[in-house]
Homo-oligomer: A and B are copies of this chain.
C-alpha cells in the first residue's frame, strides 16, 4: 500500500491524489497540518528536508517528493492508463503546460511566500489576497492563451484523456476559485476544468473532500 503524507489544501497533494486515482493505485494519506506548522516538526523534517508536502512512500525506500517528479515516477512504474502522450513532441507540450501552472505560478502563493509578505514586507491582508489573486489569474490567463485555438487541445489539455497537465490545471483552477478569481472569461480553461471535475478520479481527490477540510463547504 502506498503511504502519502499530504494536506487537504495542498495543490501538490491534490495532483498526486488524482494521479494515484487515475492509475488505480490504492493509497493511505496522513494529513500534515500545514496551518499548524507540522511540516517543521523534527519527525516530518527528517522525512522531507524541504518541509513540503507531499511525501510518498511507495516501498521501503526513501519517500518520493515534488508532485511532478512523483507523477513521472508513477507513469514509469505504472504506465496504464498513460498520463503522458506517446510521442516526444506531445510529452514536451504536456510537460510545458504542467510547468506553466505548477512551476511558474503555484510557487508564488504558497504559505512561506505569504508569510514573507506579511512578516518581512508588512503587506496587509488585502494586499496579500490581491497578490494571491493576481498570480492565480495570470497563470490561468497564460494557460488560456496556450490552450485556446491549439489543435492539440481536446476535451483535456492534450487530446481527450487526462494528462499530467490537467492535474496541474485543475489544482490551479480550484485554488483560484477559493480566492474568488473568475475563470468565466477563459473558455478553454473553464471547459477543461469541468471535464476534469466530471471524472471520479479528480472529484475524489478534491481538497474539500479530504479529512481536515472545512466542513461548511
- In the complex, whether A121 has a CB less than 8 A from a CB of chain B is yes
Q: Give the distance to chain B from A11, nearest Cβ to Cβ, in Å.
A: 12
Task: Report whether A77 and B68 are in contact in the complex, using a CB–CB cutoff of 8 Å.
Answer: no
- A108 partner, pick from B72, B95, B108, beta carbons under 8 A: B108
Q: Give the distance to chain B from A125, nearest Cβ to Cβ, in Å.
A: 13
Task: Report whether A95 and B121 are in contact in the complex, using a CB–CB cutoff of 8 Å.
Answer: no
Task: Report whether B130 and A66 are in contact in the complex, using a CB–CB cutoff of 8 Å.
Answer: no
Q: With the chains together, A50 CA to B141 CA distance in Å?
A: 9
Render A78-104 as a binary contact track against B, CB cut-off 8 A, 1 for contact.
000000000011011101101110111
- On chain A, the number of residues with a Cβ less than 8 Å from chain B's Cβ atoms is 45
Task: Report whether A72 and B91 are in contact in the complex, using a CB–CB cutoff of 8 Å.
Answer: yes
Task: Report whether B91 and A49 are in contact in the complex, using a CB–CB cutoff of 8 Å.
Answer: no
Task: Report whether B96 and A66 are in contact in the complex, using a CB–CB cutoff of 8 Å.
Answer: yes
Chain B residues, CB < 8 A from A89: 61, 73
Chain B residues, CB < 8 A from A91: 72-73, 76
A-B contact pairs, 16 of them (CB 8 A): A49-B142, A50-B104, A66-B95, A66-B100, A68-B99, A70-B92, A72-B95, A73-B91, A103-B103, A108-B113, A116-B134, A120-B130, A120-B134, A121-B121, A121-B123, A121-B131
Please give me the 5 A-B residue pairs with the lowest Cβ-Cβ distance, nearest first: A103-B103, A69-B95, A49-B145, A66-B96, A69-B96
**Could you tell me which A residues sit within 8 Å of B by CB distance?**
49-50, 52, 61, 64-66, 68-70, 72-73, 76-77, 88-89, 91-93, 95-96, 98-100, 102-105, 107-108, 112-113, 116-117, 120-121, 123, 127, 130-131, 134, 138, 142, 145-146
